[in-house]
């Protein structure tokens, strides 16, 4: 049974930082493409970043430089470091997984999802 559990969200002031974690059970992390998505209230879910099994990454252009995806295969954990937080970063953040080397930016291409962790940024 594949399980993804996010943590690390919270309420922070603009300019602050957070590190989100996604702990994975039920499969080996380095055989899957892992991604972070976010969904603000009233908006559709949007892709933020992904990391391939070989460690190659890609990040949404509008957050590049502030968001950094990484993983620890030994701990089977995915991370998202978010710096210089802005109010527009307020959203529920989800991790997602799909088996294989290919990664995608569409939510429909991912088979497993966590329950999400809320990030709220105040100005």
What's the pLDDT band for 30 if we cut at 50, 70, 90? confident
Q: How far is CA 25 from CA 45, 59, 60, 73, in A?
A: 24, 24, 26, 12
DSSP 85: -
pLDDT for 86 equals 98
The mean pLDDT value of the chain amounts to 96
What is the percentage of the chain residues whose pLDDT exceeds 90? 93
CB 49 within 8 A of CB 35: yes
Average pLDDT over residues 76-102: 97
pLDDT for 26 equals 87
CA distance 28 to 32: 7
């Amino acid at each position: 049974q594949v399980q993804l559990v996010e943590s690390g969200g919270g309420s922070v002031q603009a300019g602050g930082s957070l590190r989100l974690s996604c702990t994975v059970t039920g499969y080996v992390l380095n055989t899957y493409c892992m991604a972070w998505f976010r969904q603000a209230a009233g908006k559709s879910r949007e892709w933020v970043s992904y990391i391939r099994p070989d460690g190659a990454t890609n990040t949404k252009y509008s957050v590049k430089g502030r968001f950094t995806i990484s993983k620890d295969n030994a701990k089977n954990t995915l991370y998202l470091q978010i710096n210089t937080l802005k109010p527009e970063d307020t959203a529920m953040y989800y991790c997602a997984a799909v088996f294989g080397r290919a990664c995608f930016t569409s939510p429909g291409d991912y088979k497993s999802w966590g329950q999400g962790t809320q990030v709220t940024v105040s100005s």
